[in-house]
Each structure stands twice: as structure tokens, then as C-alpha cells.
Homo-oligomer: A and B are copies of this chain.
Amino acid sequence: MEKIKAGVIGATGYAGAELVRLLSRHPHAQVEEVSSVSFEGKKLSEVYPSLLGVCDMTLTNGEGIEERCDVIFASLPHGLSEERAERALKAGKKFIDLGADFRLDSAEEYNKWYGKEYKLPYLHEQSVYCIPELHRAALKGRSIVGNPGCYPTSAALALAPLMKERLAGGVVIDAKSGVTGSGRGLSDTTHYPNCNEAFSPYKVACHRHTPEIEQTLSKLAGEQVKITFVPHLLPLNRGIISTCYAELKKPLTAERLHALYTRFYAEERFVRVMPLGACANLRNVRMSNFCDISVHADEHAGRAVIVAAIDNMVKGAAGQAIQNMNILFGLDEGEGLEYVPPAF
């Protein structure tokens, strides 16, 4: 079988570089082209010496990449993906957007949270937002994929069973992410002495991932779900823990909750429901496509506490994008993603 030719737009951003890292060992795909506005003409391995001898390709400006590749991954600031999606569509190629432009169904919500308009609305009618474990059926026949955000992936997987069964409401999501979630760009926030031995929330109850999470949960519940979502910055590189609190509509023991979750995810290779009593820890999923979920009941206060752990760069970005690519191309969903997390 000929390998799928993949083009990565924005290859020097963190999600882009992680895509290259993973695709370079994918058995049925290969990196055909890497582009970057900031580093055009440089080798990718000059920007990331970790890729020395692995991907020494020269970064292009991306012009015409749609002609040369079977699938385009775009990792761009919001507002720039529609045009690239249209080009891919016209060239009859697949387009997977790791940015925010194809995540929200509602043009109003997009406008409210991102301050931009959908310029090519027809694209959004054809595109599909896909966390494979929840939406893979919808991918069939599509060409444009809105790859989910990192926080929303963890929160949706954590709460899906409860929402689907309409067992809970009053949702609070207290999420914590490693610093790679802030990307490659320099900022005071990501200056080492400001992050190290530091911890704080940010964008309290006003983070852009809020409407994306509410969209997924509302569809699952069949009703409008409102959440309080507060992200925090963890002093580590990779990984997200979302600690999700939900008021139970009727009392449920930890055992019942656990049974619900193991059943819901029984067929999923990338979701691991932890044994009852254990706690999800991001160290057990780093560098892998796994989402670990632990289930807890606070019978005293009548809440369920569900904790989901993912690697924000893999299951939360590049890995999930490749998982979506695998589905789009009829490959086994786990191809190129069977990494075992290093415990230490």
C-alpha cells in the first residue's frame, strides 16, 4: 500500500511539530511537506534539534501543498483555516484542522468567543467535529474535520457517560494543563521562573474552550448544559487533568458509577477506566494517546467526581488528529499511535 502523503501547515508550532514526530513513524503515512510562516527556508531540525536525522525537511511557505499531499493538517491561529480548508476541498483532499475554526457549530458562539465571523459558512456545514470515541460514525464521507481542543477532549470523555444517561447536572470542571498547552510562543506566562514552583488559574470562567465543552455535553444530554470551567497552569510540560464535579440527580454508589463507565468505554482501546479506588494521573498517559478516567462518588454531598487524564499534545491534539486521519482513510484507528506511556 502506498503511504498517505501528509502535509503539515504550521509545522513549527507545538501541535505541528508533534504531528511530524508521530507521523514520521506511522506505518502507512509519511510527512510529505512541512510549512511555516516564521521559519520558511530553514530545516525543521534546525528549529527542533530533537528531529535531527528524523525530519530534516526544509520548511516551505505551504503554497500548493494541497496538490502534493493527500491530507492537510493545519495548526494555525484561529481565523486562518477556512481558506486552507477550501483549497483542500477543491483539490479533493482531506483537511484536518487542529485550530478552533471548525469546532463550533454556532457561528454566533464562534463570533462571541473568537471575535471573528465564519466567512465560508458552507464549509462548516460539511465539516465534522470529532472525538472518535464519541463521534466517529459522523466522520464517514467527510473531508473537513474540526479536531477537538485539549481541554474539551478530556472534559467530554470524562462526562459523556453521565450526560448521555442524564444522571447529573450542575457541572464544574476544574482543569489543569501543562505548559505546552500555551504553545511555542514566548510570553511572561511561560517564562520559566514564572511557571516553575508556581500554580494559578487563568481565564477563570471565560476560557474559549467553554462553549466547545458545552456543545458536546449538550448534544449528549439532549438539552442545554451550562458549566463552570476553570483552567489552571501546571508546572510541567505535558498533560491535562480535568477534575469534573457533577450533582447526581439520584444517589449513585461508586460501584454503580464505575460500572456505567466501564460499560460505556468497553470497546475503546484508548480510554482506560481505572480500577475503582485508583486515581487518574497524567503521568500514566504522557507521550501516549490514552485517556485515563477515574470515577469517584461523594455520597456525603451527592456529587460524582470524574477525573480524566490525557497528554494534551497527543490525545489532546496531534494524536487525536492522526486517529481521525486513520478513520478517514479506512485504516485501523490505532495505527501509528500505539505508544506506551513511560511511567517515569
B-contact bits for A192-210, CB 8 A (1 contact / 0 none)? 1111111111101100001
0/1 interface trace, chain A 174-215, chain B, CB 8 Å (1 if under): 101001100010111011111111111110110000100000
User: Which of B54, B296, B313 is in CB contact (< 8 Å) with A205?
Assistant: B296
Q: Which of A69-77, A102-110, A145-153, A280-288 sits within the interface?
A: A280-288
Quick one: CB contact mask for A245-282 with B, threshold 8 Å, 1 for yes?
10100000000000000000000010010100011111
Copies in the complex: 4
B297–A205 touching, CB < 8 Å: yes
Task: Kindly state whether residue A340 has any CB partner on chain B within 8 Å.
Answer: yes
Quick one: which of A23-53 are within 8 Å of B by CB?
A: 24-25, 48-53
Residue of B nearest to A49 (CB): B284
Question: Which chain B positions have C-beta within 8 A of A281?
Answer: 49, 198-200
Known: A49-B281, A50-B342, A228-B245. A239 touches B174 (CB 8 A): no
Say which residue of B51, B236, B342 sits within 8 Å of A343 (CB atoms).
B51
Q: Are A53 and B195 in contact (CB under 8 A)?
A: no
**What is the 8 Å Cβ interface bit string for chain A, positions 314-343, against chain B (1 contact, 0 not)?**
000000000000000000000000111111
Q: Is the CB of A172 within 8 A of B204?
A: no
Chain A residue total in the interface (Cβ 8 A): 86
A197 CA to B178 CA in the complex, in Å?
Answer: 9
Q: Per a CB cutoff under 8 Å, which of B210, B226, B245, B342 touches A287?
A: B342
The reply to whether the CB of A129 lies closer than 8 angstroms to some CB of chain B is no
Contact partner, A344, options B174, B193, B282, B296, Cβ 8 Å: B193
Q: How far is the CA of A199 from the CA of B243 in the complex (A)?
A: 11
Known: A199-B241, A232-B243. A179 touches B192 (CB 8 A): yes
Interface residues, chain A, with chain B CB atoms under 8 Å away: 14, 17-18, 21, 24-25, 48-54, 170, 172, 174, 176, 179-180, 184, 186-188, 190-202, 204-205, 210, 226-228, 230, 232, 234-239, 241, 243, 245, 247, 269, 272, 274, 278-287, 292, 294, 296-298, 300-301, 303, 305, 307, 309, 313, 338-344
